[in-house]
Structures are given as structure tokens and as C-alpha cells.
Amino acid sequence: MNFKDLTSKTLITDSDIDWEVLGNGVRRKIMVYDDSLMLVKVEFEKGAIGSVHNHPHLQLSYVAKGSFEVSMGEEKKILNEGDVFFAPTMVFHGVVCLENGLLIDVFNPHREDFL
């Protein structure tokens, strides 16, 4: 499915969207977005790393499955299924997957660099 087709959808079926393999045990699905909001599923194999980075977007991440060591600024904490982290604008953050896991990421505004 073409990502541009997603902007006009309001009812999204997971099986209609292909995984994008990012390498090193990480893959993602851009589920839906418009100019101000984006929802992305990111799947990690045990040991996979979401490198420390920052961006101008606000980010909320829900741990839908698994366990992650999350770094936020100078702090680190283990988060498990059902937990959430919030990455404010330009704050460095990253994850290490401790057991196979899935994050549901929400960005405001959408991540143009993902498209």
C-alpha cells in the first residue's frame, strides 16, 4: 500500500499495510497520518536497539508488548507491556528491547522523514 493513500483513510485494517524492515531486528508500519498527527507500530526483536536520537516532534509511545529499557535525557527505566513514555520536543531518547516487543508511537506533527 502506498503511504500517500493512508492520509485519506479513517478506518484502517492492519493487514492492508505492509511492514517496512528497518534492519537490525526492527520493523515498522505507518498506520495513519495527517499533517498534525501520525501513528506508527514499531516491532523489535530481543536485543534490538532504537538508537538515541531527538526530533522536533512530540512523541508518545505505548508498550503494547514486551519489555524495553528506555532512556529519556539522562534517565533510564525499564518499561513493560501497558507502560508509556513521552518524548518532549528535542529531548534525546532511545530504547533497547529486552524481550520481543511492540511500541505504538504517536507523533505530532507527523514525521515527514518516515515518508
Measured CA to CA, the distance from residue 80 to residue 49 in angstroms comes to 16
Hunting for cell 508511537 — which residue is that? Answer: 105
Give the 3-state secondary structure of residue 3: helix
CA 81 from chain centre, in angstroms, equals 14
Average pLDDT over residues 6-31: 90
pLDDT tens sequence across 43-89: 999 999 999 999 999 999 999 999 999 999 999 999 999 999 999 99
Cβ–Cβ contacts within 10 Å for residue 65, how many?
15
**pLDDT tens figures, 36-52:** 999 999 999 999 999 99
pLDDT at 114: 94
In the three-class reduction of DSSP (H, G, I as helix; E, B as strand; rest coil), residue 16 is classed as helix
- Summarize the confidence of residues 21-45 as an average pLDDT: 97
Q: Measure the CA–CA gap between 15 and 50, rounded to whole angstroms.
A: 24
pLDDT of residue 44: 98
Contact (Cβ atoms closer than 8 angstroms) between residue 103 and residue 44: yes
pLDDT digits (tens, 9 = 90+) for 85-115: 999 999 999 999 999 999 999 999 999 999 9
Residues 6+ apart with CB under 8 A from 22: 28
